[in-house]
Amino acid sequence: MASSFHSLGIRASSPRIEPSFTAIVEVATEEDIQQAINYANRCDIAFLAVAGGHGWQSTINNANGGIQIDMRKMQQIELNSNGTVVLIGGGVLQRHLTQTLYRLGKQAVTGLCECTSIIGPLMDGGHSVLQGFYGFVADNLVSARVVLASGEAVTASATEHPELFWALRGAGHNFGILASFEVKAYDLPKTNWTIVSVIYTQDRLEDFVDALNDVDSEGDHAPELVLAGAITRIPAFDTVYPVVAYQLSYLGTADEVEPYVARFRQASPISVTTAENVAYKDYYIATSNGYNQTACQKDKNISGYAISLRKYNKVAIRKTFGYFSNLTADARFNTSVWLLESYGSRGVWAQNYSATAVAPAERNLPVLTVPITWWAGNSTEARQKAETYGKLMRGALAAGDHETSNSSHVYLNYAIGDESLEQVYGVENLPKLQALKRRYDPANKFGFYMPLI
Ligand SMILES: Cc1cc2nc3c(=O)[nH]c(=O)nc-3n(C[C@H](O)[C@H](O)[C@H](O)COP(=O)(O)OP(=O)(O)OC[C@H]3O[C@@H](n4cnc5c(N)ncnc54)[C@H](O)[C@@H]3O)c2cc1C
């Protein structure tokens, strides 16, 4: 066995989710994973794979007392000979893949933050700055080596275990541990990125929302354009209220993005700054999603109450802003961020919806929004306050959406754990997913991330 075994390990998946593991097994091969699962099954102990350690669902806490299967030694990245497919280890993080492929003149569809794994986002869809071109991360999966609950290892692809392959792309956490997997690789484009950052004070909130809705066009915009940002506290711009800090990223020149920026200028930002000629390998740090930047922090508690929308409702945004402002006026919560993400939908809509288990609503609703609350310490009162405000904010956003999409859909990877299965998996896919779950994992060994049964 190439793995190393730490009895009484105390390293949790992340300080934010703290199942207290009895042991941590650092696996290095597929056989190691099999042995770890076989051992856990023999002893009837729960087990949980950990790759990036950024999962925030409360259901992960049910792995308490179990064995952590630490994937972080599974770091292989191998491009095939014609450069179209890359084999990736089950513990590879976004930064490692992006930097490695860049040196080879390639890129792949991944999540944004450098610190999450490739596989974590992929298994529930995976939102990406490249999704406007190539669909979700999951749409790019070619095959996977999966260690099942029984300890058996199989290949899942369009031709081998095709139903498992379908389920991995939308509900993968429920079906096995992916030792390695293959995704499509693409040539790096000849152009670099332009990143325009705009800041608004709260008195411009409604004007900003109008501009955002106009430019986003319910997801139907050029794939070169990526819209993402947050409402957060930046005392340099406003010492009393949170501000809107938004970014338009464009695969192209400043002149090419200017027509979109012009619409945002009409909403009277307090600041506009532009970074030009940003190489793809530097994109994530330039947009503050780098491995050592705040978005990747793991030293605080986190709670996020997400909802997916067709577009933003001004009344709902103002009401939610009031809650967010009140919450973050409490210094314990003042680094929190309310994410407003619209990565573009054309590449997502172009996929065959029934080819994967990604919820149709995930494809149809172009706006992802989640007020993320961060705070330090173990106070029960602080956790309750974060949760109370989280629910209020999601409720306000959902109520506002009744006029547009009547959505209650929540992106599975942004779910907190109190959502219904229909909300995250979609009514269309749930029966088939549950039938497959009963076939592949009847004892619900993979039951710590929105368990299907
Ligand atoms: C800072 C941050 C940035 C994010 N950015 C994005 C983004 O850009 N796009 C997006 O779509 N989502 C994003 N998310 C959400 C993200 O998809 C989920 O939090 C995801 O679960 C993180 O995966 P991880 O490997 O980092 O976390 P982990 O906590 O290690 O894993 C999460 C779940 O995946 C399971 N798992 C881990 N490795 C494997 C494996 N090899 N095989 C099978 N199961 C495994 C774990 O058991 C756990 O259930 C982000 C979250 C955070 C906190």
State how far the Cα of 384 lies from the Cα of 361, in Å rounded to an integer. 30
Instruction: Determine, yes or no, domain membership for 92.
Output: yes
Query: 223 and 180: one domain?
Result: no
Query: 367 and 259: one domain?
Result: yes
State how far the Cα of 51 lies from the Cα of 49, in Å rounded to an integer. 7
Query: 25 and 99: one domain?
Result: no
Instruction: Determine, yes or no, domain membership for 340.
Output: yes
Query: 162 and 26: one domain?
Result: no
The full length of the chain comes to 453
State how far the Cα of 193 lies from the Cα of 205, in Å rounded to an integer. 27
Which residue stretches of the chain have pLDDT < 70?
Answer: 1-19, 401-406
Residue type, 182: E
CB 122 within 8 A of CB 171: no
Query: 326 and 307: one domain?
Result: yes
**Distance (Å) from CA 81 to ligand 1 centroid:** 29
**Among 214, 277, 219, CA closest to 249:** 277
CB 336 within 8 A of CB 301: no
Instruction: Determine, yes or no, domain membership for 109.
Output: yes
Query: 57 and 113: one domain?
Result: no
CB 46 within 8 A of CB 69: no
**Distance (Å) from CA 129 to ligand 1 centroid:** 17
Instruction: Determine, yes or no, domain membership for 351.
Output: yes
pLDDT digits (tens, 9 = 90+) for 349-387: 999 999 999 999 999 999 999 999 999 988 999 999 999
What's the pLDDT at 11?
43
Query: 294 and 148: one domain?
Result: no
Residues with CB under 6 A from ligand 1: 13, 48-56, 71, 90, 111-113, 115-117, 119-121, 126-127, 173, 177-178, 295-296, 413, 448-449
CB 167 within 8 A of CB 85: no
Query: 345 and 244: one domain?
Result: yes
Instruction: Determine, yes or no, domain membership for 119.
Output: yes
Instruction: Determine, yes or no, domain membership for 444.
Output: no
State how far the Cα of 48 lies from the Cα of 227, in Å rounded to an integer. 34
- Tally of structural domains, the chain: 3
Which residue range is the domain that position 122 belongs to?
Answer: 77-187
State which of 11, 26, 30, 50 you would mutate to test the pocket of ligand 1, scoring each by most atoms of that ligand within 8 A of its C-beta: 50
State how far the Cα of 44 lies from the Cα of 38, in Å rounded to an integer. 10
CATH number at residue 264: 3.40.462.20
* Four-point Cα dihedral 284, 129, 158, 49, nearest 10: 40
3-state secondary structure of 424: helix
Residue type, 389: Y
**Distance (Å) from CA 35 to ligand 1 centroid:** 23
**Among 45, 41, 2, CA closest to 20:** 45
3-state secondary structure of 23: strand
State how far the Cα of 195 lies from the Cα of 192, in Å rounded to an integer. 10
State which of 117, 285, 302 you would mutate to test the pocket of ligand 1, scoring each by most atoms of that ligand within 8 A of its C-beta: 117
**Distance (Å) from CA 128 to ligand 1 centroid:** 13
Query: 277 and 232: one domain?
Result: yes
What's the pLDDT at 16?
54
Last residue within a domain, chosen from 132, 152, 187: 187
3-state secondary structure of 134: helix
Within 10 angstroms of residue 82's Cβ, the number of other Cβ atoms is 7
What's the pLDDT at 405?
60
Within 10 angstroms of residue 380's Cβ, the number of other Cβ atoms is 7
Per-residue burial over 425-451, b if 16 or more Cβ lie within 10 Å, else e, is bbeebbeebbebbeebbeeebbbbbbb
What's the pLDDT at 74?
98
CATH number at residue 133: 3.30.465.10
Query: 170 and 273: one domain?
Result: no
Query: 221 and 366: one domain?
Result: yes
CB 189 within 8 A of CB 106: no
Instruction: Determine, yes or no, domain membership for 452.
Output: no
* Four-point Cα dihedral 358, 363, 369, 372, nearest 10: 20
3-state secondary structure of 79: strand
Instruction: Determine, yes or no, domain membership for 429.
Output: no
Paired strand residues for 230: 245, 339
**Distance (Å) from CA 383 to ligand 1 centroid:** 22
Residue type, 34: Q
Paired strand residues for 147: 153, 177
The backbone torsions φ and ψ at residue 247, rounded to the nearest 5 degrees and listed phi first, read -130, 135
State how far the Cα of 91 lies from the Cα of 74, in Å rounded to an integer. 5
Query: 117 and 48: one domain?
Result: no
3-state secondary structure of 218: helix
